Chains A and B, each alone.
Chain A
Amino acid sequence: MEPKRLRYTKDHEWVGRDGDTYVVGITDYAQEQLGDVTYVELPEVGRRVAAEEETAVVESVKAASDVFAPVAGTVASVNEALETQPELVNQDPYGEGWFFKLRDVKAADVEGLMDATDYNAFLATLEE
């Protein structure tokens, strides 16, 4: 996924369109802050989730954190590769390190999130 074309949350998830579904992952900033990822807990396919609902869990050598659904939808598929290779989250957060895909998403919900420029401006406020 091209980071410039994604949408972002303040909890450092990204969401991007892939055909009929939307792919969700965590940002490069998030993986950098977490450090080496050791475990990822993924949701069940078919689960309906609300926006900001705890949908996955990511554990690193430093901490365990919830991953929230950026928008409401139904879990269409999950990245099973993370079960054996959680390090993909560190190595390729916008690509092979994706978490889950959502269907039944309202495009307007996604449009309402921060774009790359807004997200980078948000990150700059965290650096102060």
Chain B
Amino acid sequence: MQLIFEKSVPGRRAVRFDALDVPEAGLPETLRRREAAALPEAAEIDVVRHFTHLSKRNFGIDSHFYPLGSCTMKYNPKVAEVVAALPGFAQLHPRLANAPEYEDAVQGAYALIYGLEALLAEIGGMRAASIQPIAGAHGELTGALLMAAYHRDRGNAHKDTVLVPDSAHGTNPASAVIAGFHVVEVPSCAKGFVDFEAMKAALGDHVAGVMLTCPNTHGMFEPEVREIARIAHEKDALLYYDGANLNAIVGQCRPGDLGFDVMHFNLHKTFATPHGGGGPGSGPVGVGERLLPYLPGPRVVKREDRYTLDTPEKSIGRVAAFFGNFLIAVRAYAYLRYYGGDGLRGMSRDAVLNANYVQARLEKAYQPAFDGRCMHECVFTGARQAEKGVRAMDIAKALLDRGFHAPTVYFPLTVKECLMIEPTETESKETLDAFCDAMLEIASLVDRDPDALHAAPVTTPVGRLDEVKAAKDLDCACR
């Protein structure tokens, strides 16, 4: 397929402007380009066709099943788009926030922020939440900065270390390091849980915090989570809840009740806002009693019947311009109000049910990485298939040919030839069955025709990509 630049014909235009009928204002000479910008020159119909063709090659939740483990690629209900498009939200000028003289004009937006933060705090069992962070990893960093502020305030200079399980997302250690901590990795046990004895041994006085994902990336709920909270708090270490897998437990149990002090929510996962290339993300942070004084500011507060802004005295300050990705917050609020409490409990229940259905249908053909039932995602090892020369990557590519997005592969790093499948609650039994049928057919090809799997994908616009070249040769500039 040609690039739009390759379709360019000198002099061709989509729009021709009439001659100016007002005096030209004129830019200062110093600000004028010396050479014309190298923009493509094309007719409107050719531009429309170009981008329509590109859009057909897109792979998204609106066109395909997308069981990408750990990413919670659920359907984004269109009602949230309708609400976010309301002119009162969509046409708000960001500068109206923080401008006391315009506070009347933003009471609705402030009410939404206030309401969403209250709902998130309730779901998390937290005292309060802030919608400022603009992505999951940004929420993690904000949480790590909050932990640092807490220890600084208490004179805990010796607390310089954060414990992270080996099954954690890579963003956990990265966030802790950027916030100034050393990271010590805690191993998993054979059952897929964090090794409790190793955690206990690592939890010395120098530990500032423990970051846990629960259920963890093995799809298992940590059975010792309350006990870990207890021994962490004994050492004045804080417990961080990575909200990546919150979809499994919404309305069933609350991180705050389990002993967590701080958490982030991924609105783009759990609360169905757009995700992936489209985004943008949103990673609100929630805090319990210990971290309440340090929340990012300014915050929307309610005084009598009016919303206004206030910054907590010990606030770590702003972590984003304005109120983060506000229109994403609008979508999440619409989703939460649309579903309500019973709906959200049904959401997490069905997410867990769907993952267990997939595990039960596939567990004879693919070896589950751990014993027992899973939570919202099922994790398999393709080690048995790898012995016959078919790698997890081959299975992933073969799924593309069958019209499904691949599951997450090679993560978590603790599982060999890992295949991590998260169907989410929004898929029907028919879709899950079609996916499982494809997985079983691929498993049967491992013995019968492994070369067909090595060649996959053959039906996609581009075939097997050269991953080494993609990682090494970063020069992707347009000619």
Contacts and interface: CB of A to CB of B under 8 A. Distances in A.
Contacts of B416: 33
Contacts of B472: 38-39, 86
B410 interface: yes
Interface string A53-92: 0000001011100000000000000000000001100000
A36 B410 contact: no
Q: Is the interface of B mostly helix, strand, loop or mixed?
A: helix
Q: Which of B416, B467, B468 has the most CB of A within 10 A?
A: B468
A63 B468 contact: no
A59 B416 CA distance: 17
B413 interface: yes
Interface in B403-455: 410, 413, 416
Given A38-B471, A61-B467, A62-B410, 15 more contacts: A33-B416, A35-B410, A36-B467, A36-B468, A38-B468, A38-B472, A39-B471, A39-B472, A59-B471, A61-B468, A61-B471, A63-B410, A63-B413, A86-B472, A87-B468
A5 B451 CA distance: 38
18 contacts: A33-B416, A35-B410, A36-B467, A36-B468, A38-B468, A38-B471, A38-B472, A39-B471, A39-B472, A59-B471, A61-B467, A61-B468, A61-B471, A62-B410, A63-B410, A63-B413, A86-B472, A87-B468
A33 B468 CA distance: 15
In the complex, the 6 A-B pairs of residues with the closest C-beta atoms, listed nearest first: A38-B471, A61-B467, A62-B410, A36-B468, A38-B472, A63-B413
A85 B418 CA distance: 27
Q: Which of A39, A61, A63 has the most CB of B within 10 A?
A: A61
Nearest to B190: A128
B193 to A, nearest CB: 18
Contacts of A35: 410
Contacts of B413: 63
Interface string B466-478: 0110011000000
Nearest to A126: B416
A18 B465 CA distance: 40
A86 B472 CA distance: 10
A104 to B, nearest CB: 26
Contacts of A38: 468, 471-472
Nearest to A63: B413
A35 B467 CA distance: 11
A63 B471 CA distance: 11
Contacts of A62: 410
A35 B392 CA distance: 12
Interface in A24-56: 33, 35-36, 38-39
A86 to B, nearest CB: 8
Q: Which of A38, A59, A63, A87 has the most CB of B within 10 A?
A: A38
A86 B416 CA distance: 23
A76 B413 CA distance: 32
Nearest to A38: B471
A57 B111 CA distance: 48
Interface string B383-413: 0000000000000000000000000001001
B468 to A, nearest CB: 5
Interface string B151-183: 000000000000000000000000000000000
A62 B408 CA distance: 11
A87 to B, nearest CB: 7
B472 to A, nearest CB: 5
B479 to A, nearest CB: 24
A33 B67 CA distance: 24
A86 B410 CA distance: 20
B178 to A, nearest CB: 16
B415 to A, nearest CB: 11
A62 B409 CA distance: 9
Nearest to A59: B471
Interface in B209-227: none
A38 B472 CA distance: 6
B72 to A, nearest CB: 22
Contacts of A87: 468
Interface string B454-467: 00000000000001
Contacts of A86: 472
B389 to A, nearest CB: 13
B326 to A, nearest CB: 34
B170 to A, nearest CB: 8
A1 to B, nearest CB: 25
B29 to A, nearest CB: 46
A61 B468 CA distance: 6
B118 to A, nearest CB: 40
Nearest to B409: A62
